[in-house]
Structure 1
Amino acid sequence: MLAAPVPGSLPLRTYRDSIRRVSVSGSQCRSALLLFTSSSDTEAGDGAYCWSSASSASSPCPSLDAWARCSPLSSSFSSGWEAAEDPDGVEELRAIALQMVHDGYMQGLIRAFGDGRSSSAHRRGLGFGLKESLLGSWFSELDVEWVLSIGKGDREQLHLEDGFASLLDMMERWIKALKTMVQVFCITQQELRAKRPTVAVGGVRKAIWHFMLLATGKMDEREQEVAQFVRFAEASILRMLDFVDAVADAALNDDQAPEMLPGMLLVYTCVVDDSPAVLALFEEASMASSMFDAMNSVFLRKMNRLSDAIWSMMEKVRASFVTDDSWRVSSAEAGGVHKTTRLMMNYIMLLSRNERALSLILQDQQRHLSHQPDYYSSSVDILIKDMISCLEKQLEKTSNFISDPGLRYIFLMNNCSFISQKVSSLLLPSWTLFEDYKIDRPKKRDPRERPPPMEDYVNQPDPNLQEQIETDSNLDGLLMIQSFIEAYLDASWEPVMSCLYHDIPRGFLKLGGRLDKFETEFDETYKKQKQWKVPNPELRKRLRKAIVEKVIPGYSKYFAERTAKGKSNRPPINTPLELGEQLEELFEG
């Protein structure tokens, strides 16, 4: 039997260093809210998300302003991390836990903690101090010694003044510590069970075995070991759970709480996942029934506290997305995907990837949402649909401030294409995207008029889309983007083509004929739109093809009709082939 460990007698930070080297989902805390890439171009990669540890106090929307200043991080909530063999580091942490037990470290620590509770220790004034010292050594090896100060009401131990990088780092360390601690206790409990007679020893043999244990005093020793283990486990878990209240307070009392949301979801998931194993520790000991009930109540309170904090943070995030300052857009920014679109879709991806935890949180929040009978608060899909609907409305509202009709539809195309791609990648139900738009052909309009609201421009798909539509699960997204292409062609290229076929007032003949007018309009439109950007290569290809199919046949037809009527043609500046080559250069930015 190993002697009780004396703090400092074992190699310092042997286990601590090993735990620090483990990469777990908690390390994704640092990447925060699945934020957008630093480049507006999707070529930067959907996985290049970022987060900020600071924000502008002068910004009317500090959270979004801080997010916008991010730079890409290699480690993020991207799709790649889910494919890791051990994304939560469970196997590595279990190996460390096994080492702690097999080295005799835990056995000595538990025995020393039990000795600290003895009456003789208390008479010598060593009880409380020795227990705190042992817990300090234990928590130090777990890399969370600062947690012990939280229970004393010292919330400054969270170092909130250092910014969120420090707090998120603590979340990661706490998650790894709790997972390791629970593994250690489960392994230790298994070893204690192995020392007891099994149910396979029945009848007379079982009675003899039981009598021998009583006669030798080993039954009392076994019970004492179990009691010491249970008390040590109880003390350790309760002190670890003090962090939950501290981090919930930090989340609720700070303006930058939304940046902690991913980490908070991981903390909540960790508590939910590990609570059954912890409660199982108290099911078998003879004196542990009251401990089981008490610990169960503690876990319920902690989960409710985290649930309330996370829900409050989610409401803050949603509110930050609908401020006018979040949706400002200049002509230069109208091309590409709006930064708030990226933020909202990355937030939606965060919700989807945490569906299990969020389902529990939403169920817990039903009492707060009882005044909304039509809101299915237990469904993450409904929550996501609500967010996408909000995003659609914000995009339409923002597009109305773009003066150029063609650019307005480029803006809508870029953003809705980005949304559609993300929704498809998450395998969300088809009704989550563009559900409210009707399928109807637009009426012809005067190209000089302001384009109508985008819901009036939803069209039946052209024949070239039919095959894609039959195989694509996101039918509504395809139809919506096709409607924007049709509206864009009507706004930008119909006025150009009308020069070849609409009558020109007699007073303008001296300024040149229809071909002259067409070439002037084409040149102006081409030069302007060559500077516009469509980041999605598939959408860019599709849009160029639609323009070519609208312009080139009409251009060729104009010359063919004049020749058929015996009218002379001056040589055009560009042949149809050359015109098509020019159009293939559009939207590079």
Structure 2
Amino acid sequence: MEITQQLSSLPRERQEDEPDQQKEEGEQKEGEEEKKEEESTVVEDDVPDISTLSEQIDEFLSVLDRFKDAKEEKAARPQVPETAVEQFVTAVENEIAKYESDGEELPLLDAINRVSRLHLELSGFSQDANYYNVTNKSGCVLHHAMCFLEDEFFSLLDAGSSGRPHEASPKESNSCEASPAYPKETVEKLRDIAAAMISAGYGTECCEVFIAARSKEVEAAVSSVGYEKGSIDDVVKMPWESLEGAIATWIKSFRHFVSVILPAEHDLCNQVFSVDPDISTTLFHTVAGGVLLHLLVLPEAVAMTKRSAEKLFKVLDIYDALRDATPTIDSLLPDQADDFSLADELTSVRSRLGDAAISIFCDLEGSVKSDAAKTPVPGGAVHPLTRYVMNYIKYACEYKNTLDLVFHDHHTPFSVQLMELMDLLDSNLEAKSKLYKDPALSNIFLMNNGRYIAQKIKGSSEINMLLGETWYRKRSSNLRQYHKNYQRETWAKVLACFKDEGLTAAKGGVQKPVVKERLKSFNSLFEEIHRTQSAWVVSDEQLQSELRVSVSAVVVPAYRSFLGRFAQCLTPGRQTEKYVKFGAEDLESYIDELFDGKVPAPVARRRT
């Protein structure tokens, strides 16, 4: 009975014991999980911080340096601290991720530079299986870091210059001074990133970002002064009025580019890429040279436009701007070891502009030579051609130094070219003077034009210097000859009325009829001269006065003398009034009305 009871009670006992067993198993499981958590916590707590890991990596790199420097050829390679390397590159990757997510300032460059050096050193042992994993891991993290720095480099370049105009650059230096384009702090960051990327073998990517960002910025800086980039076809097709304004804007922009932007960009390249001067020079050539070539499009196109006289001065303005810029460009952008030369391109454009200037000036000579207008200028006044040519020459001679250079390049002194033009103008005026039927008026025309030319030359030290004193004296002599010719052609017949010949009889008496005839001839001649020559034009007041004074000086004394000797031959009263129409003072008054360019009133009897 007891055995039966014991057997029958056995399952119940097991059932009663089962909850305790499950409880024990549960407690055991929980213990194992807690143990794992504790072990995990211990592992995490045991991971050194990035500063400690950096020290361990530095120590390992020092060991590698000593290994490479070891004289023993069979020195054992140092053991790679795989755990430390793994933990370090992972920590750096995590720090980059944090920066990318929240943009907090973190001291990443030192760590990235350490990864770069670590990877470089490990790559030397990449064939060793012991180094493969850590080399691969460090390479992946390094690539991630370089992509991160590339983005950061672009962001700094793109945002740092916003709103900062290009001003006069500071004294050139490789130190990280404030740049006209960026604050000092930004330049320092750019320099450090560039150095890190170049050291890691990512110089190409760094340079490409710099070129793209700075080319855009420099072009914008030039545009901000007003210059709009266009093609050669665009410029050639412009109407002259529009092109004239575009040239003025180009000159302003180009001078700003050379004097301000170019030195500033040169300094920026030196500062950012101080780690490698060769890279700095190449980048500056690429950025600045590219913009310079765009700026040379307009001068090249202007040299190709149709020649016309009014374009000469703008062509010379561009030539001057290029000439003035050449020393700076040669200094900052010297030729590099490639086939293309910015200096040669600049010289070529200048040469084409010089050719255009010479062509325009020679076209002016051709215009003067071929101007064969058949209508004389009314009143013998200064011809429009004379005014145009002399004003053109006066303006051109303000560019004397530039024209000297341009013509010197073509082995023809500008002074010789100018004299040739003046000779052509003289020949043209001589031909035009023959259009007048009255020889006296021909000489008035030549005097007017000659005096105008002389006054223009006298008023310009540049023309005087080019033509010389000998040339000026010859022209002054010509003017005196024109004056004498006029006196002879106009007043010789008048003065002939006062000659003694034929006035006295054989016995010493006076031939009264001859006296009367002489006075009638004088009155008629003088009235005709007054009527005609009062309408002639002498606009130069000094020349006008000289002519009147010279006429009075020969006519009035001769007339006064004639009357003094022969007036008593006339019967007082009607006869005197009939033959003596003018007193000496009357003649002077009428002579002072000559060359006014006005239609005169009929000569009235003025007795004194």
TM-score w.r.t. length of structure 1: 0.61
The one-letter code matched in structure 2 to 1:392 is: D
> Are 1:480 and 2:558 matched, yes or no?
no
Contact 2:236 2:304 in 1 (8 A): no
Q: Which residue of structure 2 aligns with residue 317 of structure 1?
A: 364
Unaligned runs of 5+ in 2: 1-152, 504-511, 598-608
CA shift for structure 1 position 189: 6.7
Contact 2:381 2:538 in 1 (8 A): yes
Q: Which residue of structure 2 aligns with residue 174 of structure 1?
A: 250
Contact 2:266 2:284 in 1 (8 A): no
The one-letter code matched in structure 2 to 1:570 is: T
Q: How does 1:80-479 map to 2 (within 5 A)?
A: 97=168, 106-107=181-182, 119-120=204-205, 133-134=216-217, 136-146=219-229, 149-150=230-231, 154-160=232-238, 163-185=239-261, 187-188=263-264, 219-220=274-275, 227-250=282-305, 254=306, 257-283=308-334, 289-290=336-337, 294-325=341-372, 327-332=373-378, 334-366=379-411, 377=412, 379-427=413-461, 428=463, 432=467, 474-479=472-477
Give SS of 1:4's match.
Answer: helix
Write the deviation string for residues 311-363 of structure 1: whole angstroms up to 9, x where unpaired: 222222211112234x444352x432111111221232234222222222222
* Between structures 1 and 2, the one with greater helix share: 2
Instruction: Output the CA distance in 2 between the equivalents of 1:299 and 1:107.
Output: 30
Instruction: Output the CA distance in 2 between the equivalents of 1:191 and 1:132.
Output: 15
Write the deviation string for residues 279-316 of structure 1: whole angstroms up to 9, x where unpaired: 11035xxxx64379812211221122112222222222
Instruction: Output the CA distance in 2 between the equivalents of 1:490 and 1:177.
Output: 62
What is the root-mean-square deviation in Å for CA atoms of aligned residues? 4.1
Q: Which has the larger radius of gyration?
A: 2
1:578 is matched with which residue: 571, 576, 586?
Answer: 586
Instruction: Output the CA distance in 1 between the equivalents of 2:280 and 2:526.
Output: 88
Cα distance, 1:396–1:529 mapped onto 2, change above 3 Å? same
> Are 1:554 and 2:558 matched, yes or no?
yes
Instruction: Output the CA distance in 2 between the equivalents of 1:4 and 1:190.
Output: 15
Instruction: Output the CA distance in 1 between the equivalents of 2:377 and 2:228.
Output: 53
Contact 1:423 1:433 in 2 (8 A): no
Instruction: Output the CA distance in 2 between the equivalents of 1:311 and 1:552.
Output: 54
CA shift for structure 1 position 577: 0.9
Structure number with higher relative contact order (C-alpha < 8 Å, ≥ 6 residues apart) = 1
Write the deviation string for residues 29-57 of structure 1: whole angstroms up to 9, x where unpaired: xxxxxxxxxxxxxxxxxxxxxxxxxxxxx
Give SS of 1:290's match.
Answer: coil
CA shift for structure 1 position 122: 10
The one-letter code matched in structure 2 to 1:556 is: R
Comparing 267-276 with 422-431, greater Cα deviation is found at: 422-431
Cα distance, 1:576–1:7 mapped onto 2, change above 3 Å? farther
TM-score w.r.t. length of structure 2: 0.59
Identity over aligned residues, as a percent?
20
The one-letter code matched in structure 2 to 1:311 is: I
The one-letter code matched in structure 2 to 1:249 is: M
Instruction: Output the CA distance in 2 between the equivalents of 1:397 and 1:391.
Output: 10
Contact 1:331 1:402 in 2 (8 A): no
Instruction: Output the CA distance in 2 between the equivalents of 1:180 and 1:558.
Output: 78
Contact 2:269 2:280 in 1 (8 A): no
1:518 is matched with which residue: 522, 528, 544?
Answer: 522
Write the deviation string for residues 172-221 of structure 1: whole angstroms up to 9, x where unpaired: 111111111011145427856997xxxxxxxxxxxxxxxxxxxxx98417
The one-letter code matched in structure 1 to 2:289 is: E
CA shift for structure 1 position 582: 1.7
Instruction: Output the CA distance in 2 between the equivalents of 1:523 and 1:8.
Output: 84
Cα distance, 1:6–1:587 mapped onto 2, change above 3 Å? farther
Aligned residues: 413
Write the deviation string for residues 502-548 of structure 1: whole angstroms up to 9, x where unpaired: 769xxx97996221221121111112111111111111111111111
